[in-house]
Amino acid sequence: MNNLPNEISAMTVSTLRSVLAAAADLPITVIWPDGEPIEAHFHVTEVGRVQRDFVDCGGTVRQIVTCLLQSWVGDDIDHRITGGKLLKAFVHAEPILRGEDLPVEFEYDACNVVQLKVLSATVETDRLVIRLGKKQTDCLAKELCIPSTRGAATAGCC
């Protein structure tokens, strides 16, 4: 199960690959949720399949599987990744991704490593723009853990 309650869906691998193929020669600009771009000379160092199995605070076993693009900003300020270069990385990752059309996330080192959803990818005249969205934590068993607003308290697990 990839979609948790109240989750805004991330772009999937197949959709992103289609956009990359349509803009193979264009440089990629990645935009933070606040509208600012990350450094133009970032590298995608890994395309991975990440599976997280867990039990939520209400005792429900859950699983989240995503495609994670790990980025790194090096000293080579002349480097620009293109749609074609990232598409080639996806081709190399096909055995790892197992043909699953997973939601795509982007990992970035900003003093702390952060993971964000890839919300969209659009082709502009001179670049391919990938927009990121926030990920947030949430209680997945609110009906079991959080006292009702009507005053009927339940045994909290959170």
User: Tens digit of pLDDT for each residue in 122-157?
Assistant: 999 999 999 999 998 888 888 887 766 544 444 544
**How far from chain centre, in Å, is Cα 34?**
16
Q: What is the CA radius of gyration of the chain?
A: 18
Q: Residue 101 in contact with residue 12, Cβ under 8 Å?
A: yes
- Sign for the pseudo-dihedral over CA of 68, 37, 27, 12: positive
Q: What is the β-pairing status of strands 42-55 and 28-31?
A: unpaired
- Of 32, 43, 117, the residue nearest 73 (C-alpha): 43
Domain boundaries, the chain: 13-145
Query: What pLDDT is stored for residue 152 in this prediction?
Result: 47
pLDDT at 113: 94
128 alpha-carbon distance from chain centroid: 17
Predicted confidence at residue 8, as pLDDT, reads 62
pLDDT 10s per residue in the chain (158 long)?
Answer: 444 444 567 899 999 999 999 999 999 999 999 999 999 999 999 999 999 999 998 899 999 999 999 999 988 888 899 999 999 999 999 999 999 999 999 999 988 999 999 999 999 999 999 999 999 888 888 888 776 654 444 454 44
Render pLDDT for 113-129 as a digit per residue (tens, 0 to 9).
999 999 999 999 999 99
Give the largest CA-CA distance in the chain: 61
